[in-house]
Amino acid sequence: MKKNFILTTQLDFAAAHRLIGYEGDCAKLHGHNWKIEVSVIGHTLNDIGMVIDFKQVKQHAKDVVAELDHSYLNDHPHFQRTNPTAENIAHYLYNELAKRLDQDAFKMHQIRVWENDRNYVTYSETDH
């Protein structure tokens, strides 16, 4: 049986957006205090008993989120082509973090993006 270690760290950022083509209040400019949960999966431990140091995961997440923090998401180059829904934000963040984190020993497992205390989206990629 294969062992799985899933490490998760959280951080937050503030950003505004509006949803293009949406009929309702979210079509208007509004903001969120977004929270993200970044999960990395690994199957083996290094010499000191870690998959990866939580600090490394958090630093990569901070670097990616820094370009979105206190911004108008619709102005971001990626979201000029893609509606900045919670789903699309999760997909974007997952891909950007995978570029930085994926290695032989561990890789991105999933990301959860909360737009408020009650609503979140989870994005992951699987082989099946």
Tell me whether residue 17 is annotated as binding: yes
Q: Which of 43, 67, 70, 125 is catalytic?
A: 70
Tell me the DSSP string of 49-111.
S-SS-HHHHHHHHHHHHHTTTTEEGGGSTGGGTS---HHHHHHHHHHHHHHHH--SSEEEEEE
Contact 67, 97 (CB under 8 A): no
Tell me whether residue 78 is annotated as binding: no
Active site annotation includes 70: yes
Identity of the residue numbered 15: A
Q: Which of 23, 26, 60, 67 is catalytic?
A: 26
Tell me whether residue 30 is annotated as binding: yes
Q: Which of 76, 115, 125, 128 is catalytic?
A: 115
Contact 19, 88 (CB under 8 A): no
- Residues involved in catalysis: 26, 70, 115
**Binding-site entries for Zn(2+):** 17, 30, 32
